[in-house]
């Protein structure tokens, strides 16, 4: 098990964002809908990606992953069971359920695991697939489904905390091979869902409304293979924006679509940063020496992403004044608060709210990463804090940030990986 050792650093330069993990995982699951070859470019080399590729192989595919390109084609053996030993490590692996029901007409998928950020039920996945006609039962920790009679239907997919990205992905993929027309109301609008829809259309699916809360899917008899370019990781880009704010560093972030980060850039501007958009996929972040407090509310896209809440909380520790963060996606996603307070932060938690009293300094400490985005926040804290910081359990960060220490070192960060 590894740890990061960090010291306060002045950062400067340019960093290039990798391909999106959250977009790539559903794309990989979608290859289960066809027997033909699919090629996906700009795929990050991450622990979660490797896990999904193992699941795809277990389900009967031949996989090649080289230099950011994944090639997937039909293998000799066929499978329909996604086992617990693989699915338990990440939630996105549950996206295999819809494609398996649609293509193989049966599925046995373990209930998912992943980061501990609060209750994340799969009820919307099951609700949507059952409304398409799937018969689903939960037995001994597995979701067992029969998809022999999938038929299009008008489905309302809203939940207690808004739309669900993975449930939208699962239902949309299943609907591509269902009989008739499916309408998904309250569909997720995230760029990752829009990217998945475009990928499915390249495979021959009939989909309209991607990027809006109303998706229309007309079922087709068969899907084919295609070649596709994965989108950039907007959460990685947002993490570097938060890092620039917290360390008072001017950074150029390349390879990310600024229009996927509108709410994030607007928040950075309110905090006092100057944002210069350079072309279609680059931006320059120039913070002011004194940051302003802001109120942040996490919401489904295009609102502020829950996956950037922890990172921006670190930056708000340096803002002169009181900021309020309201977590409306995962109300329990505040495991990082206690660790930041150990570093000298003044943060109070009350239900889905965190009150950040900024303007002081953070000091290095030994801290424990609880989940993927919290680990990124602690790295940012370590780079902005006085004295030495050690972040333990960095296997979390390896799930979602490709070569993060190398990228940070190229910007001047004092960070090294050591055995814990």
CB burial of residue 153 (10 Å; 0-12, 13-18, 19+): middle
**CA pair distance 343, 366, nearest whole angstrom:** 9
Residue 117, pLDDT score: 46
Q: Quote the mean pLDDT of the chain.
A: 95
Residue 67: count other Cβ atoms within 10 Å of its Cβ: 7
Q: Measuring CA to CA, which residue among 252, 258, 265 is closest to residue 231? A: 258
The answer to whether residue 115 is catalytic is: yes
Q: Where along the chain do the CATH 3.65.10.10 domains lie?
A: 2-17+233-419, 21-221
Quick check: 373 and 346 in contact, CB under 8 A? Answer: no
- In angstroms, the CA 320 to CA 95 distance is 43
Task: Return all residues near 69 (Cβ < 8 A) that are at least 6 apart.
Answer: 39, 40, 41, 43
Residue stretches of the chain with pLDDT short of 50? 114-119
CATH of domain 21-221: 3.65.10.10
Q: Which residues pair with 6 in a beta bridge?
A: 389, 415
Name the helix (H) or strand (E) containing 321.
none
pLDDT of residue 113: 58
pLDDT tens sequence across 265-285: 999 999 999 999 999 999 999
- With tokens 């027997």, the residue in question is 35
Tokens of 239: 């993490």
CATH of span 2-17+233-419: 3.65.10.10
pTM: predicted TM-score of the whole model, two decimal places: 0.95
CA 355, CA 181: separation in Å to the nearest integer? Answer: 47
CB neighbourhood size of 159 (10 A)? 14
Q: Which of 38, 95, 115, 226 does the annotation list as catalytic? A: 115
CA dist 317 to 23, 122, 226, 345, Å? 31, 34, 46, 6
């Amino acid at each position: 098990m590894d740890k990061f050792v960090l010291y306060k650093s002045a950062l400067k330069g340019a960093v290039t964002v990798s391909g999106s993990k959250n977009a790539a995982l559903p794309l990989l699951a979608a290859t289960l809908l066809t027997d033909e070859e699919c090629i996906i470019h700009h795929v990050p080399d991450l622990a979660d990606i490797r896990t999904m590729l193992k699941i795809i192989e277990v389900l009967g595919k031949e996989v090649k992953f080289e230099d950011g390109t994944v090639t997937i084609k039909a293998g000799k053996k066929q499978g329909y069971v996604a086992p617990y030993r693989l699915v338990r490590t990440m939630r996105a692996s549950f996206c295999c359920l819809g494609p398996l029901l649609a293509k193989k007409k049966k599925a046995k998928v373990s209930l998912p695991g992943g980061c501990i950020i609060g209750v994340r039920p799969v009820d919307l996945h099951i609700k949507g697939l059952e409304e398409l006609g799937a018969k689903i039962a939960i037995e001994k920790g597995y979701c067992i489904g029969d998809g022999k009679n999938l038929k299009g239907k008008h489905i309302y997919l809203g939940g207690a905390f808004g739309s669900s990205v993975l449930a939208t992905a699962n239902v949309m993929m299943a609907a591509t091979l269902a009989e008739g027309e499916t309408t998904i109301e309250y569909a997720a609008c995230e760029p990752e869902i829009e990217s998945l829809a475009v990928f499915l259309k390249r495979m021959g699916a009939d989909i309209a409304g991607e990027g809006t809360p109303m998706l229309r899917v007309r079922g087709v008899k068969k899907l084919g293979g295609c070649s596709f370019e994965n989108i950039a990781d907007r959460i990685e880009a947002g993490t570097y924006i938060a890092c620039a704010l917290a360390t008072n560093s001017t950074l150029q972030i390349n390879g990310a679509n600024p229009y996927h980060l509108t709410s994030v850039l607007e928040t950075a501007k309110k905090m006092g940063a100057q944002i210069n958009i350079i072309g279609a996929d680059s931006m320059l972040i120039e913070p002011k020496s004194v940051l302003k407090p802001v109120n942040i509310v996490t919401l489904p896209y295009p609102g502020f992403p829950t996956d950037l809440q922890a990172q921006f909380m670190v930056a708000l520790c340096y803002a002169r004044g009181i900021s309020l963060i309201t977590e409306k996606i995962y109300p329990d996603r505040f495991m990082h608060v206690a660790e930041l307070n150990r570093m000298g932060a003044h943060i109070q938690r009350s239900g889905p709210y965190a009150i950040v009293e900024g303007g002081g300094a953070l000091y290095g400490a030994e801290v424990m990463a609880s989940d993927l985005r919290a680990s990124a926040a602690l790295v940012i804290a370590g780079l902005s804090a006085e004295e030495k910081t050690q972040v333990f359990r960095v296997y979390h960060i390896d799930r979602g940030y490709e070569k993060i220490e190398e990228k940070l070192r190229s910007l001047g960060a004092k960070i090294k990986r050591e055995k814990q």
